[in-house]
Protein backbone atom coordinates (compact mmCIF):
# COMPACT_ATOMS: atom_id res chain seq x y z
CA UNK A 1 0.00 0.00 0.00
CA UNK A 2 1.46 3.35 -1.03
CA UNK A 3 2.18 6.10 1.48
CA UNK A 4 -0.37 8.29 -0.27
CA UNK A 5 -3.09 5.65 0.14
CA UNK A 6 -2.26 5.25 3.83
CA UNK A 7 -2.46 9.01 4.29
CA UNK A 8 -5.81 9.12 2.50
CA UNK A 9 -7.21 6.37 4.74
CA UNK A 10 -6.12 8.25 7.85
CA UNK A 11 -7.88 11.41 6.64
CA UNK A 12 -10.95 9.38 5.62
CA UNK A 13 -11.10 7.81 9.07
CA UNK A 14 -10.99 11.23 10.74
CA UNK A 15 -13.68 12.44 8.33
CA UNK A 16 -15.99 9.58 9.29
CA UNK A 17 -15.49 10.26 12.98
CA UNK A 18 -16.35 13.94 12.48
CA UNK A 19 -19.46 12.88 10.55
CA UNK A 20 -20.28 10.44 13.35
CA UNK A 21 -20.02 13.21 15.97
CA UNK A 22 -22.35 15.49 14.00
CA UNK A 23 -24.93 12.75 13.35
CA UNK A 24 -24.96 11.66 17.01
CA UNK A 25 -25.24 15.26 18.21
CA UNK A 26 -28.00 15.91 15.69
CA UNK A 27 -29.92 12.86 16.86
CA UNK A 28 -29.77 13.88 20.52
CA UNK A 29 -30.91 17.42 19.64
CA UNK A 30 -33.61 16.58 17.08
CA UNK A 31 -34.25 12.88 17.69
CA UNK A 32 -35.67 11.87 14.29
CA UNK A 33 -35.75 8.34 12.86
CA UNK A 34 -33.82 9.56 9.83
CA UNK A 35 -30.91 10.69 11.96
CA UNK A 36 -31.01 7.42 13.90
CA UNK A 37 -30.76 5.51 10.62
CA UNK A 38 -27.88 7.76 9.54
CA UNK A 39 -26.17 7.08 12.86
CA UNK A 40 -26.41 3.33 12.34
CA UNK A 41 -25.32 3.43 8.69
CA UNK A 42 -22.35 5.67 9.52
CA UNK A 43 -21.40 3.25 12.30
CA UNK A 44 -21.39 0.28 9.91
CA UNK A 45 -19.47 2.04 7.12
CA UNK A 46 -17.19 3.74 9.64
CA UNK A 47 -16.16 0.41 11.14
CA UNK A 48 -15.03 -0.73 7.68
CA UNK A 49 -13.02 2.47 7.25
CA UNK A 50 -11.35 1.91 10.64
CA UNK A 51 -10.49 -1.65 9.56
CA UNK A 52 -8.86 -0.38 6.35
CA UNK A 53 -6.96 2.27 8.32
CA UNK A 54 -5.75 -0.35 10.79
CA UNK A 55 -4.62 -2.63 7.97
CA UNK A 56 -2.57 0.24 6.51
CA UNK A 57 -1.02 0.85 9.92
CA UNK A 58 -0.22 -2.85 10.35
CA UNK A 59 2.11 -2.75 7.35
CA UNK A 60 4.75 -1.28 9.67
CA UNK A 61 5.61 -4.60 11.30
CA UNK A 62 8.46 -7.10 11.27
CA UNK A 63 8.21 -10.71 10.12
CA UNK A 64 8.64 -11.96 13.69
CA UNK A 65 5.59 -9.92 14.74
CA UNK A 66 3.30 -11.32 12.03
CA UNK A 67 1.12 -13.19 14.56
CA UNK A 68 0.32 -9.92 16.36
CA UNK A 69 -0.59 -8.30 13.05
CA UNK A 70 -2.88 -11.15 11.97
CA UNK A 71 -4.57 -11.28 15.38
CA UNK A 72 -5.20 -7.52 15.33
CA UNK A 73 -6.71 -7.70 11.85
CA UNK A 74 -8.88 -10.66 12.89
CA UNK A 75 -10.15 -8.89 16.02
CA UNK A 76 -10.98 -5.72 14.05
CA UNK A 77 -12.79 -7.85 11.46
CA UNK A 78 -14.87 -9.24 14.33
CA UNK A 79 -15.70 -5.66 15.33
CA UNK A 80 -16.93 -4.88 11.81
CA UNK A 81 -18.95 -8.11 11.57
CA UNK A 82 -20.64 -7.81 14.98
CA UNK A 83 -21.50 -4.12 14.81
CA UNK A 84 -22.82 -4.59 11.26
CA UNK A 85 -25.08 -7.42 12.39
CA UNK A 86 -26.35 -5.48 15.41
CA UNK A 87 -27.16 -2.30 13.50
CA UNK A 88 -28.47 -4.02 10.36
CA UNK A 89 -30.88 -6.11 12.43
CA UNK A 90 -31.96 -3.00 14.31
CA UNK A 91 -32.64 -1.09 11.08
CA UNK A 92 -34.31 -3.85 9.07
CA UNK A 93 -36.09 -5.86 11.78
CA UNK A 94 -36.46 -4.24 15.20
CA UNK A 95 -37.29 -0.69 14.13
CA UNK A 96 -39.33 -1.89 11.14
CA UNK A 97 -41.56 -4.06 13.32
CA UNK A 98 -41.87 -1.28 15.89
CA UNK A 99 -42.92 1.18 13.16
CA UNK A 100 -45.61 -1.28 12.09
CA UNK A 101 -47.15 -1.32 15.56
CA UNK A 102 -45.49 -4.37 17.09
CA UNK A 103 -44.43 -3.89 20.69
CA UNK A 104 -40.71 -4.71 20.81
CA UNK A 105 -39.27 -5.31 24.30
CA UNK A 106 -36.44 -2.97 25.31
CA UNK A 107 -34.07 -5.92 25.67
CA UNK A 108 -34.16 -6.35 21.87
CA UNK A 109 -33.42 -2.68 21.05
CA UNK A 110 -30.04 -1.16 20.38
CA UNK A 111 -29.49 1.91 22.52
CA UNK A 112 -31.33 0.33 25.45
CA UNK A 113 -29.20 -0.97 28.28
CA UNK A 114 -29.04 -3.88 28.78
CA UNK A 115 -30.31 -5.44 25.55
CA UNK A 116 -29.31 -8.22 23.16
CA UNK A 117 -28.32 -5.91 20.30
CA UNK A 118 -26.50 -3.53 22.64
CA UNK A 119 -24.53 -6.43 24.13
CA UNK A 120 -23.41 -7.48 20.64
CA UNK A 121 -22.39 -3.92 19.77
CA UNK A 122 -20.50 -3.52 23.05
CA UNK A 123 -18.71 -6.82 22.42
CA UNK A 124 -17.65 -5.43 19.04
CA UNK A 125 -16.40 -2.00 20.11
CA UNK A 126 -15.28 -2.84 23.63
CA UNK A 127 -13.82 -6.33 23.65
CA UNK A 128 -12.75 -6.97 20.06
CA UNK A 129 -11.64 -3.44 19.19
CA UNK A 130 -9.76 -3.28 22.49
CA UNK A 131 -7.88 -6.43 21.56
CA UNK A 132 -7.31 -5.14 18.02
CA UNK A 133 -5.67 -1.99 19.42
CA UNK A 134 -3.46 -3.88 21.88
CA UNK A 135 -2.30 -6.50 19.37
CA UNK A 136 -1.69 -3.78 16.75
CA UNK A 137 0.46 -1.87 19.25
CA UNK A 138 2.68 -4.92 19.86
CA UNK A 139 2.92 -5.61 16.13
CA UNK A 140 4.56 -2.27 15.33
CA UNK A 141 8.23 -2.54 14.45
CA UNK A 142 10.63 -0.76 16.84
CA UNK A 143 12.72 0.37 13.84
CA UNK A 144 10.08 3.03 13.12
CA UNK A 145 10.90 5.48 15.91
CA UNK A 146 8.04 7.76 14.85
CA UNK A 147 5.54 5.07 15.84
CA UNK A 148 6.52 4.96 19.51
CA UNK A 149 3.78 7.43 20.53
CA UNK A 150 1.29 5.60 18.31
CA UNK A 151 2.09 2.36 20.13
CA UNK A 152 1.45 3.90 23.55
CA UNK A 153 -1.76 5.57 22.37
CA UNK A 154 -3.05 2.28 20.97
CA UNK A 155 -2.25 0.48 24.22
CA UNK A 156 -4.12 3.12 26.23
CA UNK A 157 -7.10 3.03 23.86
CA UNK A 158 -7.17 -0.77 23.93
CA UNK A 159 -7.13 -0.84 27.73
CA UNK A 160 -9.91 1.77 27.86
CA UNK A 161 -12.05 -0.31 25.50
CA UNK A 162 -11.56 -3.43 27.59
CA UNK A 163 -12.13 -1.54 30.85
CA UNK A 164 -15.42 -0.24 29.44
CA UNK A 165 -16.64 -3.82 29.15
CA UNK A 166 -17.09 -3.71 32.93
CA UNK A 167 -20.12 -1.53 32.20
CA UNK A 168 -21.67 -4.39 30.25
CA UNK A 169 -20.83 -6.97 32.91
CA UNK A 170 -22.15 -4.81 35.78
CA UNK A 171 -24.99 -3.33 33.66
CA UNK A 172 -23.74 0.21 34.16
CA UNK A 173 -23.93 2.38 31.03
CA UNK A 174 -21.71 5.06 32.61
CA UNK A 175 -18.83 2.59 32.94
CA UNK A 176 -19.36 1.66 29.28
CA UNK A 177 -18.41 5.21 28.28
CA UNK A 178 -14.83 4.41 29.28
CA UNK A 179 -14.76 2.24 26.14
CA UNK A 180 -16.38 5.01 24.10
CA UNK A 181 -13.47 7.29 25.01
CA UNK A 182 -11.09 4.57 23.82
CA UNK A 183 -12.57 4.06 20.36
CA UNK A 184 -14.44 7.31 19.62
CA UNK A 185 -11.77 9.73 20.82
CA UNK A 186 -8.67 7.54 20.75
CA UNK A 187 -8.98 6.43 17.12
CA UNK A 188 -8.93 9.97 15.63
CA UNK A 189 -5.89 10.74 17.81
CA UNK A 190 -4.13 7.69 16.38
CA UNK A 191 -5.09 8.89 12.88
CA UNK A 192 -3.53 12.30 13.54
CA UNK A 193 -0.36 10.65 14.84
CA UNK A 194 -0.16 8.43 11.76
CA UNK A 195 -0.69 11.39 9.43
CA UNK A 196 2.27 13.09 11.07
CA UNK A 197 4.30 9.88 10.71
CA UNK A 198 3.39 9.41 7.03
CA UNK A 199 4.36 13.00 6.22
CA UNK A 200 7.73 12.64 7.92
CA UNK A 201 8.47 9.07 6.81
Q: For the beta carbon of residue 193, count every other beta carbon within 10 angstroms.
A: 21
CA 79 and chain centroid, separation: 7
Q: Distance between CA 187 and CA 133 in Å, rounded?
A: 9
Residues in contact with 51: Cβ distance below 8 Å, sequence separation at least 6, in sequence order? 73, 76, 77, 79, 80
- Rounded CA gap, 161 and 16, in Å? 19
The pLDDT value recorded for residue 182 is 95
Answer whether 178's CB lies under 8 Å from 160's CB.
yes
The pLDDT value given to residue 100? 80
Q: What are phi and psi of 55, to 5 degrees?
A: -65, -35
Q: What stretch of H or E contains 200? A: helix 186-200
Per-residue pLDDT of the chain (201 residues; tens, 9 = 90+): 788 899 999 999 999 999 999 999 998 899 888 998 999 999 999 999 999 999 999 999 887 889 999 999 999 999 999 999 999 999 998 888 887 877 877 777 777 777 888 899 999 999 999 999 999 999 998 888 789 999 999 999 999 999 999 988 888 888 999 999 999 999 999 999 999 998 887
Amino acid sequence: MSNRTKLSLAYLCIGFYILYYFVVAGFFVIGTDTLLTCWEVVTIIGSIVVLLFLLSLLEHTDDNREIWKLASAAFMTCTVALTSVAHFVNITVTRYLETNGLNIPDYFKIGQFPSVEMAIDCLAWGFFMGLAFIFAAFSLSPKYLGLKKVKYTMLICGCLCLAGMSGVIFRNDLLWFIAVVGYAIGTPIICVQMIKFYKEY
